[in-house]
């Protein structure tokens, strides 16, 4: 009985170790956390929707700082320069009122930004692509106020996607 129990414990222990073989702590792009800094230039808004630039820039800075792979540079001293411009802001109907097929109940709001990350010293482009963020918006009595409340969520989703591309990039 003791031999069977100790064999079972060894098998379970080995299975537990093998299950975590692909995981490691720290950044996944073989960098030391905080070794490089990143400067986020305020994101330009090229859409007709007002007040998008500030929440997107703020969310990008906060998300990069929380991730910890890069140190956030607040002046002109970042190793990586991140620039971008918001190219699209669109609302798509998602669902309608149950008894009224004309009145929209939910929208999917999408924001698309063109993002470029450049190494300051070498000038090499590390990331250059369009990145999107989206959220669902429930329309109440006032579409404008509901949209205003959804913009921080939209900016946060965009920032999460940009940070993932930067941090897990294979450049």
Q: Which position has the higher pLDDT, 63 or 18?
A: 63
Helix axes 143-167, 53-67, angle to 10 degrees: 40
The whole-chain average pLDDT of the chain stands at 85
Name which of 5-9, 83-87, 129-133, 153-157 the model is least confident about.
5-9
Q: What is the pLDDT of residue 139?
A: 84
103-135 pLDDT, tens digit per residue, is 888 989 999 999 999 999 999 999 999 999 999
What mean pLDDT comes out for the span 72-81?
Answer: 86
95-108 pLDDT, tens digit per residue, is 888 888 788 889 89
Q: Which position has the higher pLDDT, 129 or 2?
A: 129
pLDDT at residue 72 above 80? Answer: yes
Share of the chain above pLDDT 70, in %: 80
User: Cα dihedral sign for 80, 83, 88, 92?
Assistant: positive
pLDDT at residue 24 above 50? Answer: no
DSSP secondary structure letters along 85-96: EEEEEEEEEEEE
pLDDT at residue 85 above 80? Answer: yes
């Amino acid at each position: 009985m003791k031999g069977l129990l100790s064999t079972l414990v060894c098998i379970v222990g080995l299975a537990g170790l093998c299950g975590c073989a692909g995981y490691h702590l720290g950044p996944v792009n073989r960098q030391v956390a905080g070794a490089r800094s990143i400067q986020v230039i305020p994101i330009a808004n090229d859409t007709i929707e007002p007040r998008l630039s500030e929440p997107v820039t703020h969310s990008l800075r906060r998300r990069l700082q929380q991730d910890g792979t890069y140190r956030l540079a607040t002046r002109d001293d970042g190793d990586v320069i991140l620039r971008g411009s918001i190219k699209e802001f669109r609302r798509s109907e998602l669902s309608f009122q149950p008894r009224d097929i004309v009145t929209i109940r939910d929208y999917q709001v999408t924001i698309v930004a063109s993002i470029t990350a450049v190494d300051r010293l070498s000038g090499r482009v590390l990331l250059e692509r369009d990145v999107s963020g989206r959220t669902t918006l429930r329309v109440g009595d006032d579409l404008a106020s509901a949209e205003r409340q959804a913009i921080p969520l939209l900016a946060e989703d965009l920032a999460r996607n940009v940070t993932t591309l930067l941090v897990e990039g294979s450049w």
